[in-house]
Amino acid sequence: MTVRGLAVLACLLVGCARRDDPQPLVPASDSAPLDSVRYPIAAAGTVTVQIDAPLEKFQGRATLLSGHLDLDVRDLTRARGEIVADLDAFTTQTFGVAADDAKQTEHARDWLELGPTVDAKRREELRFARFVLEAVQSASVKSLAEAKEEGGARVVDFTVRGQLRIHGRSAAKIVEIRVVFRDRPTPPRSSPSRRAHRWSRA
């Protein structure tokens, strides 16, 4: 199984950072839009992974996420950010049969060196998969205001490219992302700083 053979889909729940939230562990990158809002990614999102390899095919998902998106809410094609998936929460659902999926999940965890026999330090080093969003190829709407609001949320679909790092290896990937915005941000303001603004809930 190789990083290049992975197809990745993500569904992210995001909310606008509040003034009393702790500062993010990863600072805004220099490529973040100047007029940007930082949206923390909720843990309850999902990343789906699919691989079609000669020796083994599988479909799995990770359901414990973190990271952030830096967005210019008036031009979503300028989005940047990082999505982090905790692979301790990774399972496969290839067969739809509990026993078979559990066995394949064990195989995947062994390949990822996350099994119980792996040294704890090594396991911690490989525990997280990271996708750094470098560019947006398309967005279902130009601005967040154009996304229809339903049930207090707005949904935007993105096709993005960036670097995926997993099991100590990196590869360029194109990823489909559905972002569910739970909070309404205040309008962004111009700033001479490269650091993302912090915004309160509406």
CA distance 124 to 176: 27
Pair 173, 50: CB distance under 8 Å: no
Name the amino acid, one letter, at 181: F
Q: What's residue 33's pLDDT?
A: 60
Q: Closest by alpha carbon to 14, among 172, 192, 123, 133?
A: 133
CATH of domain 6-181: 2.40.128
Q: What's residue 56's pLDDT?
A: 72
CA distance 59 to 94: 5
| Beta strand spans in 15-152 (E) | 37-40, 46-52, 57-62, 65-72, 75-86, 90-92, 128-139, 149-150
Instruction: Record the tokens describing residue 160, joined without a space.
Output: 């993005």
Q: Closest by alpha carbon to 140, among 117, 123, 157?
A: 157
Query: Which phi-psi region, left, alpha or beta, contains residue 168 (left: φ > 0; alpha: ψ -120 to 50)?
Result: left
Q: What are phi and psi of 107, to 5 degrees?
A: -60, -45
Instruction: Record the tokens describing residue 43, joined without a space.
Output: 């843990």
User: From first to last of its 202 residues, what are the pLDDT tens digits of the chain?
Assistant: 445 556 777 888 887 544 334 333 333 444 566 578 899 999 999 999 887 767 777 799 999 999 999 999 999 999 999 999 999 999 999 999 999 999 999 988 888 899 989 999 999 999 999 999 999 999 999 999 999 998 889 999 999 999 999 989 999 999 999 999 986 554 444 443 333 333 333 3
What b/e string do you get for 7-42 counting C-beta neighbours within 10 Å, with b at 16 or more?
A: ebebbbbbbbbeeeeeebeeebbeebbbbbbbbbbe
